[in-house]
């Protein structure tokens, strides 16, 4: 039975300009130049302020086009509001930043950023709701996947590895269930034991066209031996399908990837090399923050388009074609102005956020000592800058800062708080550094157990559990005591 009802609903809405700014905020440095070129290609009213964009990341840029841009006003766009949920649902840009103002000439390092296949799987693991035992199993399963994406350890072997290596007692059924969870990760086809299983997993992920996919799965599931021997006529007759349907199913199988893990690494080749988004320099104890300007040349609004607008504006206001042309030009000019304003706002936001991070972590940036990293979360920087936490998160995503001690991801500066007995707060990175030092100085004939390390930390005032010590030790890739014994 249909019924009508009234309800009030509070929605956060964002204008197209805000959405454009947030997307630009996420674009990584290495992609910014392409993003600007795309905008110039689709909007003839936008152009570089010079004939050729500069390739010098330290080049000083003057504020050009100031008076010109004032001639074009931003139109009120409140009639085209967009629901924020739609934006978040459709936003697919991996973003970052890049732009700069006053900077000293100098050199910079191109940093190789390796995209690790297994780390990507571990990142996807964080999206599952698992208890501690299940997470241990999942991590062991992921560690048993080779570079091609196949499981290299049998279920029984994984059970034994967990029992003897981590003292985690599980059943084979537990491991199989977690393997099925991992098989849902990207890229499709991973965590399979055989090529047959790998291809079927990929077909199930495709799903459509249903009839063709169903036949392709049958070909691999029931007639795999005949398939690899290319006895196609035998398979087609057994499935009672015509030549056309068989060819469609065969084409689907031939498009699959026999090495999904290798494909993942290859697909990220363009992201293997990145440029630092920020340059942090130590000037006699004072930190200077520079923004990389390599991929953000100065932009301006086309004078030709403004002249066209003036010409059409003086024309016949009743002529339909004249009105349409004027509307089109105004839209392009407004769009160009929005993009330029978004670039400038992006510059300000990036510099503001990085400056707050540098101020917060000044001791670490001056010394490079990990133990001097202060506990810091997104909320801390948001409060310092009066920015939204989500904005700070976008700045921190996929951004890198080059310092005299190396190049760090901005996420490196964020860490959890751990309170000592004295009430002093330290970071989990600082605790990890201490644990690493304790283990490196231990007697290798009688290595320290996690309980021993916990006691030593407790005497120093660090109140953390044995389980936490074990967790940090594993994150440092340090084996258990019995495996460290000389």
Q: Which of 54-68, 246-260, 292-306 has the lowest mean pLDDT?
A: 54-68
- Confidence band for 464, pLDDT divided at 50, 70 and 90: confident
Predicted local distance difference test score (pLDDT) of residue 412:
83
**Higher pLDDT residue, 65 or 279?**
279
CA-based torsion, 465, 467, 472, 476: positive or negative = positive
When pLDDT is averaged across residues 449-478 and rounded to a whole number, the result is 83
Residue located via tokens 């130049």: 33
- Confidence band for 417, pLDDT divided at 50, 70 and 90: low
When pLDDT is averaged across residues 24-40 and rounded to a whole number, the result is 79
- Confidence band for 358, pLDDT divided at 50, 70 and 90: very high
Q: Which of 12-16, 145-149, 402-406 has the lowest mean pLDDT?
A: 12-16
pLDDT at 121 over 50: yes
When pLDDT is averaged across residues 55-64 and rounded to a whole number, the result is 41
Give the pTM.
Answer: 0.48
Beta strands in 324-383 (DSSP E): none
Q: At a CB cut-off of 8 Å and minimum separation 6, what does 445 contact?
A: 485, 486
Question: Which DSSP category does 291 fall into?
Answer: E
pLDDT at 77 over 60: no
Alpha-carbon distance of 33 to 295, in angstroms, equals: 5
Predicted local distance difference test score (pLDDT) of residue 92:
36
When pLDDT is averaged across residues 317-321 and rounded to a whole number, the result is 71
Alpha-carbon distance of 414 to 428, in angstroms, equals: 10
Residue located via tokens 């953390």: 464
pLDDT at 332 over 80: yes
**Higher pLDDT residue, 261 or 401?**
401
pLDDT at 136 over 60: yes
Structure tokens at 384: 């310092």
Q: At a CB cut-off of 8 Å and minimum separation 6, what does 448 contact?
A: 438, 439, 442, 456, 481
Q: Hey, is 409 helix, strand or coil?
A: strand
When pLDDT is averaged across residues 317-343 and rounded to a whole number, the result is 82
Q: At a CB cut-off of 8 Å and minimum separation 6, what does 122 contact?
A: 139, 142
Q: Hey, is 3 helix, strand or coil?
A: coil
Q: Per residue in 195-254, pLDDT tens?
A: 889 998 888 888 777 888 888 888 888 888 888 888 888 888 888 888 888 888 888 888
- Confidence band for 53, pLDDT divided at 50, 70 and 90: very low
Q: Which of 8-17, 93-102, 215-224, 395-404 has the lowest mean pLDDT?
A: 93-102
Q: At a CB cut-off of 8 Å and minimum separation 6, what does 324 contact?
A: none
8: number of Cβ within 10 Å: 4
- Burial readout 435-464 (b: 16 or more C-beta within 10 A, e: otherwise): beebbeebeeeebbebebbbebbeeeebeb
Contact 247, 198 (CB under 8 A): no
pLDDT at 110 over 60: no
Q: At a CB cut-off of 8 Å and minimum separation 6, what does 90 contact?
A: none
Contact 101, 61 (CB under 8 A): yes
When pLDDT is averaged across residues 389-409 and rounded to a whole number, the result is 85
Alpha-carbon distance of 373 to 361, in angstroms, equals: 6
Alpha-carbon distance of 374 to 251, in angstroms, equals: 56
pLDDT at 86 over 50: no
As a whole-number percent, the residues of the chain with pLDDT over 70 amount to 76
Averaged pLDDT score across all residues of the chain: 76
pLDDT at 129 over 50: yes
- Confidence band for 480, pLDDT divided at 50, 70 and 90: confident
Alpha-carbon distance of 240 to 246, in angstroms, equals: 10
H or E segment at 404? none
Q: Which of 6-10, 99-103, 440-444 has the lowest mean pLDDT?
A: 99-103
As a whole-number percent, the residues of the chain with pLDDT over 90 amount to 4
Q: Residue 393's Cα: distance from chain center in Å?
A: 11
Q: Per residue in 419-450, pLDDT tens?
A: 666 556 666 667 787 888 888 888 888 888 88
Predicted local distance difference test score (pLDDT) of residue 315:
65
Predicted local distance difference test score (pLDDT) of residue 114:
46
Structure tokens at 90: 């459709």
**Higher pLDDT residue, 378 or 428?**
378
Predicted local distance difference test score (pLDDT) of residue 8:
77
Predicted local distance difference test score (pLDDT) of residue 353:
92
pLDDT at 73 over 50: no
H or E segment at 47? strand 46-48
290: number of Cβ within 10 Å: 23
Predicted local distance difference test score (pLDDT) of residue 323:
78
């Amino acid at each position: 039975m249909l019924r009508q009802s009234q309800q009030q609903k509070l929605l956060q809405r964002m204008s197209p300009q805000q959405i454009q700014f947030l997307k630009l905020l996420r674009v990584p440095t290495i992609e910014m130049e392409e993003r600007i070129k795309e905008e110039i290609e689709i909007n003839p009213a936008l152009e570089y302020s010079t004939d050729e964009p500069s390739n010098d990341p330290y080049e000083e840029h003057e504020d050009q086009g100031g008076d010109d841009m004032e001639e074009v006003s931003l139109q009120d766009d409140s009639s085209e509001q967009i629901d924020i949920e739609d934006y978040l649902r459709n936003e697919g840009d991996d973003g970052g930043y890049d732009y700069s103002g006053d900077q000293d000439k100098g050199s910079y390092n191109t940093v190789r950023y390796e995209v690790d296949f297994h780390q990507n799987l571990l990142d996807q693991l964080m999206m599952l709701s698992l208890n501690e035992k299940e997470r241990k199993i999942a991590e062991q399963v992921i560690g048993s996947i080779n570079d091609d994406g196949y499981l290299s350890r049998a279920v029984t072997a994984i059970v034994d590895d967990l029992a003897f290596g981590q003292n985690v007692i599980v059943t084979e059924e537990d491991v199989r269930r977690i393997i099925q969870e991992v098989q849902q990760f990207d890229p499709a086809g991973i965590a399979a034991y055989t090529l047959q299983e790998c291809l079927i997993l990929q077909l199930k992920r495709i799903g459509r066209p249903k009839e063709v996919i169903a036949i392709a799965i049958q070909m691999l599931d029931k007639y795999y031996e005949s398939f690899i021997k290319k006895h196609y006529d035998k398979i087609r007759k057994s499935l009672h399908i015509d030549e056309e349907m068989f060819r469609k199913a065969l084409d689907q199988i031939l498009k699959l990837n026999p090495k999904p893990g290798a494909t993942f690494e290859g697909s990220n080749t363009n992201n293997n090399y990145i440029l630092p988004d920020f340059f942090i320099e130590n000037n006699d104890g004072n930190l200077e923050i520079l923004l990389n300007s390599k991929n953000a040349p100065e932009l301006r609004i086309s004078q030709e388009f403004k002249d066209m607008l003036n010409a059409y504006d003086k024309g016949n206001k009743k002529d339909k074609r004249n009105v349409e042309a004027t509307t089109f030009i105004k839209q392009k000019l407004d769009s160009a102005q929005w993009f330029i304003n978004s670039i400038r706002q992006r510059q300000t936001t990036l510099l503001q956020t990085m400056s707050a991070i540098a101020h917060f972590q000044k001791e670490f940036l001056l010394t490079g000592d990990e133990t001097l990293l202060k506990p810091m979360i997104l909320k801390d920087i948001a409060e310092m800058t009066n920015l939204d936490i989500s904005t700070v998160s976008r700045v921190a995503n996929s951004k890198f800062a080059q310092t005299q001690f190396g190049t760090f991801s901005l996420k490196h500066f964020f860490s959890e708080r751990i309170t000592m007995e004295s009430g002093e707060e330290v970071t989990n990175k600082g605790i990890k550094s201490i644990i690493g030092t304790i283990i490196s100085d231990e007697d290798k004939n009688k290595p320290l157990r996690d309980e021993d390390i916990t006691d030593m930390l407790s005497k120093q005032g660090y109140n953390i559990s044995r389980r936490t010590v074990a967790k940090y030790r594993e994150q440092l890739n340090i084996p258990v005591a019995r495996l460290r014994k000389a």
